[in-house]
Amino acid sequence: MNELSKINTLKGIGDKTSSLFLKVGVTTIGDLLDYYPRTYDVYEDSILISEIEEGKVATVTGAIFGRIQVGGNKNMQITSLLLKDISGTLKVVWYRMPFLRTTLSKGGLLTLRGKVTRKKAGLIMEHPEIFYPSQTYVEKRGTLQPVYPLTTGLTNNLVKKVMSQAIEFIDPKKDFLPEDFLGKYNLEQYADSRRNIHFPENKECFVQARHRLVFEEFLTFILSLRMQKKREEKYKNNFTFQQQPLIEAFINKLPFELTCAQKKVWEEIKTDMSSPHMMSRLVQGDVGSGKTMVAFLAMLYASLNGYQSALMAPTEVLARQHFETITALLNEYQLPLKAQLLTGSMTAKEKKESYCNIQSGKVDLVIGTHALIQEKVLYKNLALVITDEQHRFGVKQREQLAGKGSMPHILVMSATPIPRTLGIILYGDLDISIIDELPKNRLPIKNCVVDTGYRNTAYKFMEGQIKQGRQCYVICPMVEESEHLEVENVTDYTELLRDHFPPTIKVACLHGKMKQAEKDELMEAFGKNEIQILVSTTVIEVGIDVPNATVMLIENAERFGLAQLHQLRGRVGRGKHQSYCIFMSAAKSKETKERLEILNKSNDGFFIAGEDLRLRGPGDLFGIRQSGLMNFKLGDVFQDAQILKEASNAADEILEEDGNLTSEKYIHLAEHLKTYMAGYLIEKTL
Ligand code: ADP
Ligand code: MG
């Protein structure tokens, strides 16, 4: 057996368990080893009662204050007590454990570890693990237990059990990184890193394992980018482009003037598209900087020259919105071109019609989701593909499209403000344009960072805005598909708001698990102000444009990365009305406050990203991930910036030594890269 063996060759895994693992994408032992813990249960040092943060697991040590009470009813007896330390007291309850009254009443110090939540009467620790006497905690202190992402039927214990078998099958001699690299970049061996990411003996082991895995993840990515770039430099531009006076006329008729930055980027795109080589360009610009307009100009340029162009959005909602904006522009300015929508959720009949229109050349601008590049779609003469918020439009997709005609020009639009030094590494295969200027006359968003005590005031404020005809977003953290639901559930929250606000205010809820048709319907209703408050997970984050929405309330803001919060905030401040963003945080720590205050001080995405980077140290172990930016499995572009730079240096070194990775030394690395690039499909990144 080896890493390519199916997991059902492991002991105790039958069809049922196999199918559970299949649901989370695990079929082989190798897949299983790549199924990293979502987080770890860390048995931390005790903290003071006054330092407890709502919603988090805490360990506290103290003495019992007053009497131990047993209440509730026969079916559910509730044991409660007050724990006291030098900083304060905390209410603690256990369910169905009435005997605790006797066992705990001997006096002396007690250590408790459990989740603390806010109830009507204040903070309360529910059903904690007990260490009594308190010294018994010493053994557990500092250990880490893996917590895996789960699905119904798949328990954490099951994954742990299977994983501990799987790591026995790793070949201890296996490694695709050459030995001298391990020493030079202080990396653990292949087998050790796999073992330690799943079962770290302590934090130090975890850090070492993670370091190696993040390094190899970045290195693989960077190497494939650079090799891809080398291949692409060969692609000749077979299209002919001529100046199109209609475009200049269109620009002159717009109710606003393009910003200097927009003009500059537009020139760069025009030059690229008529140069001897194919364009591969990234346009980076903050939310609201007017990227869509630039994308539209590029599409016009292609289509007025007689070619088709395609715009690919990451979600159906966004695709539909782009389609509507573009259709409206074509009509309003009487441009002699036709747009076509193509998304995965369209009916078979609609799709078929769409394919026909695309193949026959009846339509010029095609807008959609990744359905745009699937096999069934044949373009008549596609010359330009634009992706919105998708950074990994790889060589595969290009070739896929090229198989259907000529290689198209590629334009990638991104609102993710990545500091320049990192951008050069991460977008190594692209030329970069930056729109570093917002349209004039934009009212800057007013921000505030508040704690949960301010919630009712925030609701009042929202109500006031709604009375003036405006609309609001409320963002809750993601609903995780796991038994450990740590986050406020969006649907519950929606109910709560419905109760709170008068019935004239319509509250609706949007989340990733909803059917596409429902989402579309909802967004349309919100766009028409038939819904006043939209409660959502971060699915709202990319690109939605409802200028009448002026308030965004973000719950648990402390759980998001700053760059992500900034993107979320970009959903408001898009119209002529003053907009507001309320960051609500349940965390009391000074660091959290300081971090969130940055958003308060600045509306500049690049500045914010830079500050975020500065504030995160390597000590920030389980730091917030920036919404899986670039879709790395473990690595976080911000948090692991240092490793990213090291991996970039390593890649330079490797390619200098052996540009095609054909030598004996790099044979395993080349193999690894091949597998990686084969999996480098856009489907994977969605
Ligand atoms: P982005 O995609 O960069 O977040 P959009 O392209 O959606 O931003 O633009 C946001 C809004 O600003 C749109 O309503 C667009 O019509 C408008 N807009 C674009 N360029 C300008 C400009 N130069 N001046 C004023 N408004 C603009
Ligand atoms: Mg956009």
Burial of 659 (0-12, 13-18, 19+ CB in 10 A): exposed
High-pLDDT (> 70) share of the chain, %: 90
Atom 25 in ligand 1: residue holding the nearest Cα: 439
Could you report the per-residue pLDDT of 18-32, keeping only the tens digit for each?
999 998 889 999 999
Could you report the per-residue pLDDT of 666-680, keeping only the tens digit for each?
999 999 888 877 655
pLDDT at 484: 35
CA 574 – ligand 1 centroid, Å: 8
pLDDT at 341: 97
Q: Is the pLDDT of residue 583 over 50?
A: yes
pLDDT at 88: 94
**Stretch among 65-79, 182-196, 387-401, 636-650 having the lowest mean pLDDT:** 387-401
pLDDT at 683: 33
Alpha-carbon span 212 to 202, nearest angstrom: 16
Indicate the top mutation candidate among 292, 299, 438 to test ligand 1's pocket, ranked by most ligand atoms within 8 A of CB: 292
Atom 24 in ligand 1: residue holding the nearest Cα: 439
**Cβ of 439 below 6 Å from ligand 1:** yes
**Structural contact between residues 417 and 563, judged by C-beta atoms closer than 8 angstroms:** yes
Q: Which residue has the higher pLDDT, 649 or 519?
A: 649
**Cβ of 216 below 6 Å from ligand 1:** no
CA 411 – ligand 2 centroid, Å: 13
pLDDT at 622: 52
**Structural contact between residues 18 and 154, judged by C-beta atoms closer than 8 angstroms:** no
Task: Taking residues 613-637, report their average pLDDT.
Answer: 61
Alpha-carbon span 450 to 317, nearest angstrom: 31
**Cβ of 291 below 6 Å from ligand 1:** yes
CA 474 – ligand 2 centroid, Å: 20
**Cβ of 293 below 6 Å from ligand 1:** yes
Could you report the per-residue pLDDT of 248-286, keeping only the tens digit for each?
999 999 999 999 999 999 999 999 999 998 898 989 888
Give the position of tokens 């076509």: 340
pLDDT at 29: 93
pLDDT at 616: 61
CA 313 – ligand 2 centroid, Å: 9
What's the first-to-final CA gap in the chain, in angstroms? 32
SS3 591: helix
**Cβ of 545 below 6 Å from ligand 1:** yes
| Ligand lying nearest the CA atom of residue 260 | 1
With bands split at pLDDT 50, 70 and 90, how would you rate the model's confidence at 618?
very low
Atom 9 in ligand 1: residue holding the nearest Cα: 290
Task: Taking residues 176-181, report their average pLDDT.
Answer: 92
Mean pLDDT of the chain, nearest integer: 86
CA 294 – ligand 1 centroid, Å: 9
Q: Is the pLDDT of residue 611 over 50?
A: yes
CA atoms in the 13 A half-sphere facing the CB of 558: 19
pLDDT at 481: 43
Q: Which ligand 1 atom is nearest residue 290's CA?
A: 6
Residues with CB under 5 A from ligand 2 (ion): 292, 543
SS3 392: coil
| Assigned token pair, 103 | 């066992």
Could you report the per-residue pLDDT of 633-645, keeping only the tens digit for each?
888 877 788 899 9
Could you report the per-residue pLDDT of 122-138, keeping only the tens digit for each?
899 999 999 988 888 98
CA 327 – ligand 2 centroid, Å: 16
β-bridge partners, 42: 144
